[in-house]
């Protein structure tokens, strides 16, 4: 169901937000609309994933202990109407990594971009060997087109493994998920606030067999939250 919500009552004709909300039917056959989540509040992660969670960071402790940055301006902040989130505050090329030396796993996190201009993007990293060796799944404005990209950075040599169009919005949280199993890398996105990931694409690559997880963004401040790693059982 789609609901238009007036953001500012005094200007209700001009400024509305698009909300998407699940609804069900009661025993009398009437729709039950539930309780909408307020604008700006991040939904919790979908449940039902297979595997064992070995890492989760929602930054509610107010810090980013365990994360190693490339030296740019990272901070844990609490934006108005949001929980604590990990924020990259500059307009550069920025990376931060965490976790252990895992082999086959899924990594997922919520990503919020503040700009969709050309070259601006952000995403999650898998099998991070160091700051120049990793796989990356990002949403990204490529030459004026909004896309998703699954990339490899092998010592500063970038390769595109898979990509496609994806019409994202700024200031909205998308869950990105990357599943790494042997040489198989699969990309998903959760964009409707519901419980079902959308399959984006997959690739096969054997360059990196294990590593940390992380996040990386380009040419805009962005935020990340609810970072989770599960090992396949
Ligand atoms: Ca949080």
Q: Are 2 and 19 in contact (CB under 8 A)?
A: yes
Structural domain count of the chain: 2
Q: Are residues 202 and 97 in the same domain?
A: yes
Ligand 1 centroid from CA 110, angstroms: 10
Evaluate if pTM is beyond 0.85.
no
Q: Are residues 181 and 163 in the same domain?
A: yes
| Residue with tokens 């796989």, as numbered in its chain | 135
pLDDT at 23: 64
Ligand 1 centroid from CA 84, angstroms: 4
pLDDT at 20: 55
Beta strands in the chain (DSSP E): 2-6, 16-20, 24-25, 31-32, 52-57, 68-69, 74-77, 85-88, 93-102, 105-113, 121-130, 133-142, 145-154, 157-165, 173-181, 184-190, 198-204, 211-218, 222-231
Ligand 1 centroid from CA 57, angstroms: 8
Band of pLDDT at residue 89, cut at 50, 70 and 90: very high
Ligand 1 centroid from CA 59, angstroms: 5
Q: Are residues 187 and 200 in the same domain?
A: yes
114 backbone dihedrals φ, ψ, rounded to 5°:
-105, -5
pLDDT at 44: 54
Q: Which of 88, 106, 118, 47 is nearest to 233 (CA)?
A: 106
Q: Are residues 217 and 202 in the same domain?
A: yes
Band of pLDDT at residue 3, cut at 50, 70 and 90: very low
Ligand 1 centroid from CA 14, angstroms: 31
Ligand 1 centroid from CA 83, angstroms: 4
- Residue 206: domain span: 40-231
pLDDT at 30: 75
Distance CA 167, CA 42 (A): 20
Give the mean pLDDT of 183-193: 91
Give the mean pLDDT of 77-102: 96
Q: Are residues 133 and 176 in the same domain?
A: yes
Band of pLDDT at residue 220, cut at 50, 70 and 90: very high
Distance CA 91, CA 96 (A): 15
Q: Are residues 6 and 59 in the same domain?
A: no
Q: Which of 210, 80, 82, 187 is nearest to 140 (CA)?
A: 187
Q: Are residues 10 and 121 in the same domain?
A: no
Q: Are residues 139 and 98 in the same domain?
A: yes
pLDDT at 113: 98
Ligand 1 centroid from CA 221, angstroms: 17
3-state secondary structure 4-61: EEECCHHHCCCCEEEEECCCEECCCCCEECCCCCCCCCCCCCCCCCCCEEEEEECCCC
**Domain of 108: which CATH number?**
2.60.120.560
Distance CA 221, CA 89 (A): 5
The set of residues, in sequence order, having a beta carbon less than 8 Å from that of 231 and lying 6+ positions away, is 51, 52, 54, 102, 104, 105
Q: Are residues 135 and 22 in the same domain?
A: no
pLDDT tens for each residue of 35-63: 555 555 555 555 555 689 999 999 999 99
Instruction: Say yes or no to pLDDT of 178 above 90.
Output: yes
Instruction: Say yes or no to pLDDT of 145 above 60.
Output: yes
Q: Are 45 and 230 in contact (CB under 8 A)?
A: no
pLDDT at 128: 98
pLDDT tens for each residue of 199-217: 999 999 999 999 999 999 9
Ligand 1 centroid from CA 207, angstroms: 33
Q: Are residues 7 and 108 in the same domain?
A: no
Instruction: Say yes or no to pLDDT of 82 above 60.
Output: yes
Q: 132 in helix, strand or coil? A: coil
Q: Are residues 98 and 197 in the same domain?
A: yes
pLDDT at 27: 74
Q: Which of 188, 195, 179, 162 is nearest to 232 (CA)?
A: 179
Instruction: Say yes or no to pLDDT of 194 above 80.
Output: no
Q: Are residues 194 and 109 in the same domain?
A: yes
């Amino acid at each position: 169901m789609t609901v238009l919500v007036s953001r500012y009552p005094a200007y209700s004709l001009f400024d509305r937000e698009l909300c998407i909300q699940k609804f069900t039917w009661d025993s009398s056959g009437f729709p039950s609309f539930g309780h909408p989540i307020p604008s700006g509040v991040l939904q919790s992660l979908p449940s039902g994933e297979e595997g064992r969670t070995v890492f989760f960071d929602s930054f509610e402790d107010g810090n980013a202990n365990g994360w190693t940055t490339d030296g740019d301006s990272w901070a844990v902040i609490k934006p108005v109407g949001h929980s604590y989130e990990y924020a990259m505050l500059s307009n550069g090329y920025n990376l931060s990594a965490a976790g252990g030396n895992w082999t086959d796993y899924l990594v997922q996190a919520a990503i919020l971009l503040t700009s969709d201009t050309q070259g601006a993007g952000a995403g999650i990293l898998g099998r991070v060997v160091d700051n120049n060796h990793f796989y990356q799944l990002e949403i990204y404005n490529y030459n004026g087109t909004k896309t998703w990209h699954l990339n490899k950075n092998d010592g500063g040599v970038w390769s595109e493994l898979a990509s496609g169009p994806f019409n994202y919005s700024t200031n909205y949280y998308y869950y990105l998920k990357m599943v790494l199993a042997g040489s198989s890398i699969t990309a998903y996105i959760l964009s409707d606030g519901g419980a079902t990931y959308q399959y984006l694409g997959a690739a096969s690559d054997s360059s990196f067999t294990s590593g940390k997880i992380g996040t990386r963004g380009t040419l805009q401040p962005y935020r990340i939250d609810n970072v989770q790693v599960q090992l396949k059982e």
